[in-house]
Amino acid sequence: MNSEKAKTKKSTTVAFLGLGNMGAPMARRLLAAGYGLTVWNRTASKAEALVAEGAVAAASPADAVRGADVVITMLADPAAALAVADAIVPALRAGTTWIDTSTVGPDTVRELASRLPEGVALIDAPVMGSVDRAATGELLILAGGETAPVAGLLAELGSVTRCGEVGTGAALKLVLISGVIGGVALVAESLRLATALGLPPELTRSSLAASPLGGLVGRAFATDAYFPVALAAKDVSLATGVAGLPVLEAVRGVLVGRGDLAGEDLSALRD
């Protein structure tokens, strides 16, 4: 059985587009697992480490996906996803599965699906978890669409929660990530309130950690995660564009207003 799985991996060609903080460790896991891997990134130098480990670098998105069995994208926002779609859709062949792991919202996912040629399947599979979980293959993958044909590949990246039809994974991701972002912002303000009241920082932190906010306190003090404030602002903006969410609107205002923290991890809101 193991030898058959190894043969399947070696015969499955994967194109991975988007080698940022999340994409690179995800691609590395697939390469280490034995998949034939072609990679592309807008900044070509980000592919060099993976090429040194055995991946093949493509000069363009279309070159990356041409002939691939599976295409995986991990891109920053809807504009990037749609731009890459413009480049790759003409090069996709029937029988290809496109797995989009970006956080772009269900409207963009449905737009991507509408552009696909006959015989190409789309799975929206945004992930929960940061760079640490991407490296260890412990991401939570929120999947909309039919995942059975790529179940083994997805298992290398993490555990899959089947959400329903295409677009439902993207929808659930907005729900979960908005809760996390709003929660971390709330922890940051609770800490600020404690300081203003003259409470010892360690007493405040330990008490919050023992409260129902415990998981969010852990994320607020994480040192091995990286989720830039700028991307958090993008995610909350996607959510507030769907429904009236006054609390999240306030959080979005804070995130957008902290341009000094744009490239810092979300935990920097404590500062």
CATH number at residue 22: 3.40.50.720
pLDDT in tens, 185-210: 999 999 999 999 999 999 999 999 99
Whether 33 and 104 map to the same domain: the answer is: yes
Q: Please check whether residues 117 and 197 belong to one and the same domain.
A: no
CATH code for the domain in which residue 200 is found: 1.10.1040.10
Q: Does residue 4 surpass a pLDDT of 70?
A: no
Q: Does residue 32 share a domain with residue 76? A: yes
pTM of the model: 0.94
- Compute the distance between CA of residue 104 and CA of residue 106 in angstroms, rounded to an integer: 7
Do 132 and 15 sit in the same domain of this protein?
Answer: yes
Domain coverage including residue 62: 2-166
**Cβ-contact 112, 105 below 8 angstroms:** no
C-alpha 24: how far from its chain's center? Answer: 11
The answer on pLDDT for 122 being more than 80 is: yes
Same domain, 217 and 245: yes
Total number of domains constituting the chain: 2
Active site residue 173: yes
End-to-end CA distance of the chain: 52
DSSP 41: -
Average pLDDT over residues 242-268: 97
> Which is the catalytic residue, given 7, 9, 173, 234?
173
Residues 231, 262 within the same domain:
yes
